[in-house]
Amino acid sequence: MTEMAHSATRAALRHHFDDLNQQHAAGTLGMWVFLVTEIMFFGGLFAAYAIYRSLYLTGFEAGSRLLDIKLGAINTAVLIASSLTMALAVHAAQTSSRKALIVFLILTMILGGVFLGIKYVEYHHKWETQLVPGLRFSPGTEIPQKISLAQVELFFCFYFFMTALHATHMVVGIGILAALVVMAARNRFSANYFAPVEVSGLYWHFVDIIWIFLFPLLYLIGGRY
Amino acid sequence: MSHHVVPVPIYVGVFAALILLTALTTWVAFIDLGAMNTVVALTIAVTKMILVILFFMHVRYSDGLTRIVILAGFFWLAILIALTLSDFLTRHWSPLPSGWSESAARPGM
Amino acid sequence: MSTTAADIPASSRVHYLNVNYGIKSWLLTTDHKRIALLYLASITLMFFVGGAFAVLMRIHLISPQGTLVQPETYNKLFTMHGVIMIFFFLIPSIPAVLGNFLVPMMIGARDLAFPRINLLSWYLYIIGAAISMYAILAGGVDTGWTFYTPYSTTYSNTYVIPTILGAFVAGFSSILTGLNFIVTIHKMRAPGLTWFRMPLFLWAMYATSIIMILGTPVVAITLSLVAIERVLHVGIFDPALGGDPLLFQHLFWFYSHPAVYIMILPGMGVVSEVITCFSRKRIFGYTFVAFSSLAIAVLGFLVWGHHMFVTGQSIYAGLIFSVLSFMVAIPSAIKVFNWTATLYKGSISYSAPMLYAFGFIGLFTMGGLTGLFLASLATDVHLNGTYFIVAHFHYIMVGGAVMAYLGGIHFWWPKITGRLYPDTWARFAALVIFIGFNLTFFPQFMLGYLGMPRRYAVYPDEFQVLNVMSSAGASILGVGYLIPLIYLIWSMRYGPVASANPWGAKGLEWETPSPPPTENFEETPRVTRGAYAYAGEEDAHD
C-alpha cells in the first residue's frame, strides 16, 4: 500500500477504537441494529395494512386494480438493478478500484432517480384521476357500484403513506451516496478502509427489500383475472 | 469480521434470479389461484428478500451475531402481527349480547 | 508508594470537566461524560415541569368539586404530566445520564461506539422537548398521554400534532441511545471482560437498549398515522369512517408496555450495584439476575393486551395476554429474591444510595404485586380506569424508578463531579421522599378499590379525606425532591473533594480518578476477575 494510502487509512481510525477492524465491526453492527429499527418502523404499517386488508378485501382489491402494474414492475426491476450496482460499488471499494467505485455509485444514484421519477408519474396520475385520500378523493365509474368507497380510500391511505415513506428513505439514500461519491473522489476508500461504502450498501439494499414487499402487497392483490 | 469479497458473477447471477422472480410474480398475478395468489406472491417476495440479504448484504459470509440481529428483527415483527391478529381473528368467537346486530359488531362500512 | 493519578487533587489535574471551557466545548462535545451532564440538566428541568402539573392536579383535587381549574384544563394537566414524565423524564433518565456516563467506563473503553450519534441523540431530545413545550405553552393537549382514538384524531381541539411530533423526535433520541449501547457492549469490551464478568448495570442497560430499538419505532409510526388522520380527515382509526380504534391501541401499547420496562430495568441495574457495594458482598445469583433482565425485555413485549382487557378486545386474546402478564412478573421477583439474599449476612451500611435501594425494593415489590390484580382479567374489570391503576404505576415509576435514579445519582455523584454531597441531608431527603411518596400514593390504592375513576376533575364527597391525604403527601414529596436539587448543586462547588473510590466499591469506573480524565483510563484495563469481588469473597469467579 502506498504511503498516501497508509496515512489515509490511519486518519480514518477514530480515537476511541483500538484498530480499524474493531471500528469496521462496530459500524456494521450499528447499521444492522438500525435496520432492525427500520423493520419495526415499516413493520407497524405492514401490520396495520395486513389487518385492514383481511377486513376489507374487496375494497382493497378494487383499489389495487387502479394501480399501474406495469410501472410497478418496472420500478421493481429498476431498484433490483440499483442493488446490483450498489453491490458492485462495494466490490469496487473492497478491491481499491476508485474509478469503478465512483461509476457504480453514480449509476446507483441514477437508478434511484429513475425510480423516484416513475413514482412521481404515478402520484401525478392519481392526483389527476382524483384518488388522493383526504385531499382529492372522488373516484368515478372505475370503482364498481357495490364496493365501499371508504374501503378504497383506506387502501389509498396505505398506498400513499407506505410508498411516500419508502421514497423518503430513497431520497436520504441518494444523499448518502452523493456524499460517498465526494469521499471516493478524494481517494478516501481502499481495501483497508471501505466501511462507509459497505454500510451505506446495507441501507440501500434494505430500502430495496421494503419495495420487494410493497410491490406485491400493493400492486398484485387486485385479482386481475 | 470477514472482509470477504464476493465474486462479481455471483452478484450478476443473483440479479438475474431477482429479475426472473419479479417477472414470475407479476405473471402469476394475472392467473386466478384463489387464496393461493397471496401465498405465492409472498413466498416469491420472501425468496427475493433472502437472496438480497444473503448475497447483496453479505450475510452468507457474516458472523452469527449479524444473523441473530436480523432474525430478532423479523421475530419481533412476527410478535406484533401475530398477537394483534389474535385479537381480530377471535373477536367473533364470543357470542354477542342479545339485542346486538351482527353488522354493528363488525368494524366496517 | 508512588503517587497515582488518582491521588493528585482534582484542581491541579486535567479531567473531563476542566479540559476545556466555553459553551462551544459543551454544545459540540462528543465526550460521553459531558453528554451525560447535558442530559442531566435537561431532564432535571423536565422533571420539575412535569412535577408542576402534578402539583396543580393535587391542589385541584383537594375539593370534590375541584375549584382550581376547569375540567377541560384538568384534562390537559394530566395529559401533559404524563407526556412529559414518560417521554422526557423516565425513559431517558437512567440510560441517558448514568448509562451514557458509565457504560464506556464499566466496559473499559474510551467512549461509546458512536460519540457523534450520542450528541445527536441529545439534540433530538432537546428538539423534541422544545416542540412539546411549545404545544404546552400554546394551549396544551387533552387526549391523555395515550392519545386514544378517535378523540385524538377527530374530536380533540387541542395541540395534538405538536405534542405527537415532540414525542416522535424524542423517540429517535431513545433509539439512537439504545443502538449506541448495544454496539458498545458487543464490540468494545476491554480485554478479559467477558459477558459474565460484566457488572449487572451493563446487563440492565443492554436489555433496556433491546427494548428501545425494537419498540420505539412502532409507536413512532403509529403516532404518525394519528397525525395523518388528523390532518387529512381519513379513517385509519376512526370507526365512523371504518377504522378500528383498537388497532391504534394494539400498535400504541406494543411499544408503551415495553416502555415501562425501559423505565424500570435501568433502576434494577442501579439497585444491583448499590446493594452489593453497601453489603460488601457479591450479588447472590449473578447469572439469574443477568438473565432475568433479558427475560423481562423479551416477555415484556408479549403482554401489551392487558391494557385493553375492557376495551372490546377478544376475550381469547385477553386470556393469552393475562397468562403472559403473570409470567412477566417472575423475572422481577427473581431479582427481588436475589437482592434480599445478597443482603443476608452482608456488612450493611445505611448510606443515602442504600436507603434509596431499600425504598426501591419495598415500593417496587408493592407496585409489582398490585400489577397481578390487574393482570387477572376478572379483577381488572373492576380496577381498570380507577385510581388503583394510578397508584400501581406510580409505585413502580416513582417508588421504583425515580428512587433508583436518585440512588444512582448519589452513588456515582463523587465519580461524576469529584465532590461528595452532604451525607446527613441526603439521608434526610431520602426519608422525606419515602414518607411523602407513601402518603401520596397509598391512599390512591384505596380510592381505586373504592371506585374513584382516574382522569376525573371532580369526585364524590365520600372520597375527599383520602384525596386530601394524597395531596398532603404530594406537598411533602415535592419538598423532598427539592432538597437534593439544592445540596447537589451546592456540592459541585463547596462539597468536599472526593477520592477515586470513596465507597470502596468494585468496578472499573472506580479505578479511575474522580472526575475521570477525558479518555477515562490512562491505559486500557485488563480484566482478570468477575464483578463484585468484595473482601472476604474468594476470587469472584465467572
Q: Which of B26, B32, B53 sits opposite A69 (nearest CB)?
A: B26
Q: Mean pLDDT throughout C100-111?
A: 96
pLDDT on residue C4: 55
- Render the burial of A68-88: b for 16+ CB within 10 Å, e for the rest: ebeebbebbbbbbbbbbbbbb
The average pLDDT across C72-90 equals 97
Task: Give dist(CA C63, CA C483) in Å, integer.
Answer: 28
Among residues of chain B, what percentage have pLDDT more than 70?
Answer: 90
Q: What are phi and psi of B31, to 5 degrees?
A: -110, 135
pLDDT at C383 > cutoff 50: yes
Give the pLDDT of residue C522: 87
pLDDT in tens, C384-398: 999 999 999 999 999
In tens, the pLDDT along A48-71 reads 999 999 889 999 999 999 999 999
Taking residues C433-437, report their average pLDDT: 98
* Contact (Cβ atoms closer than 8 angstroms) between residue A153 and residue A64: no
pLDDT at C7: 56
List the grid coordinates of B87.
385479537
Cα–Cα distance measured from residue A157 to residue A171, given in angstroms and rounded to the nearest whole number: 21
Q: Summarize pLDDT for A127-183 with one digit per residue, the tens.
A: 999 999 988 998 888 888 888 888 999 999 999 999 999 999 999 999 999 999 999
Sequence-separated (6 or more) residues with CB below 8 Å from residue B71: none
Q: How far is CA C531 from CA A151, B54, C195, C280, C505, in A?
A: 59, 39, 11, 12, 10
- For residue C237, what are the contacts with CB-CB under 8 A and spacing of at least 6? C149, C150, C153, C225, C226, C229, C243, C244, C245, C247, C248
Contact C205, C243 (CB under 8 A): no
What is the average pLDDT across B61-67?
A: 93
Cα distance between residue C129 and residue A189, in whole Å: 39
Whether A30 sits inside 8 A of C179 (CB atoms) is yes
Residue C269 has pLDDT above 70, yes or no: yes
pLDDT band at B46 (very low <50, low <70, confident <90, very high): very high
A-interface mutation test, from C189, C229, C236, C238, most A Cβ less than 10 A away: C236
Chains that touch C (3 or more CB pairs under 8 A): A, B
Q: What is the pLDDT of residue C315?
A: 92
Q: How would residue A83 be classed by pLDDT, with cut points 50, 70 and 90?
A: very high
Q: How confident is the model at residue A9 (pLDDT cuts 50, 70, 90)?
A: low
Q: Report the C-alpha gap between C237 and C219 in whole angstroms.
A: 14
Candidate from A6-10, A106-110, C390-394 with smallest mean pLDDT: A6-10
How confident is the model over C27-62, as pLDDT tens digits? 999 999 999 999 999 999 999 999 999 999 999 999
* Nearest beta carbon to residue A133 from set C180, C218, C232: C232
Q: Is A56 an interface residue toward B (CB < 8 Å)?
A: yes
> What is the per-residue pLDDT for C58?
97
Degrees, nearest 5: CA angle A165-A169-A173: 165
Closest CA to C58 of C469, C432, C442: C469
CA atoms within 13 A on the CB side of B38: 11
All cell numbers assigned to C458: 371532580
CB atoms within 10 A of CB C375: 21
Say whether A139 sits in a helix, a strand or coil: coil
Per-residue pLDDT reduced to its tens digit, A114-142: 999 999 999 999 999 999 998 899 888 88
Query: Are C158 and C138 contacting, i.e. CB atoms less than 8 angstroms apart?
Result: no
Average pLDDT, chain C: 94
- C132 near C206, Cβ under 8 Å? no
User: What pLDDT, in 10s, does the model give residues B72-107?
Assistant: 999 999 999 999 999 988 988 888 777 776 655 455
Work out the mean pLDDT of chain B and round it to a whole number.
Answer: 88
HSE (side-chain half, CA atoms, 13 Å) at A109: 15
**A-B Cβ pairs (cutoff 8 Å, strict):** 139
Of A50, A198, A220, nearest to B81 by CB-CB distance is: A50
Cβ-Cβ contacts under 8 Å, A209 against chain B: 48-49, 52-53
Q: Could you tell me the pLDDT band of residue C241, with boundaries at 50, 70 and 90?
A: confident
pLDDT score recorded for residue B1:
40
Identify all chain C residues contacting A30, using CB atoms and an 8 Å cutoff: 113-114, 179-180, 183
| B62/B4 Cα distance (integer angstroms) | 9
For residue C310, the tally of other CB atoms under 10 A from its CB is: 14
Report the pLDDT value the prediction gives residue A2, as an integer from 0 to 100. Answer: 62
pLDDT band at C2 (very low <50, low <70, confident <90, very high): very low
* pLDDT of C230: 93
Residues of C whose CB is below 8 A from B91: 313-314
pLDDT, tens only, A20-45? 999 999 999 999 999 999 999 999 99
Q: Is the pLDDT assigned to residue C432 strictly greater than 90?
A: yes
C96 burial type by CB count under 10 A (0-12 exposed, 13-18 middle, 19+ buried): buried
3-state secondary structure of C419: strand
Q: Which three cell numbers stand for residue A64?
A: 389495487
- pLDDT tens, residue by residue, C121-177: 999 999 999 999 999 999 999 999 999 999 999 999 999 999 999 999 999 999 999
Residue C537: predicted pLDDT: 53
Residue C479 has pLDDT above 80, yes or no: yes
- Give this prediction's pTM: 0.94
For chain C, the residue count is 542
Q: Write down the pLDDT at residue A224.
A: 78
Which segment, C97-111, C222-236, C238-252, C519-533, is predicted with the most confidence on average? C97-111
CB hemisphere CA count around B17 (13 angstroms): 16
The span from the CA of C340 to the CA of C343, in Å, is: 5
Which pLDDT does position C93 carry in this prediction? 96
pLDDT for res C539: 47
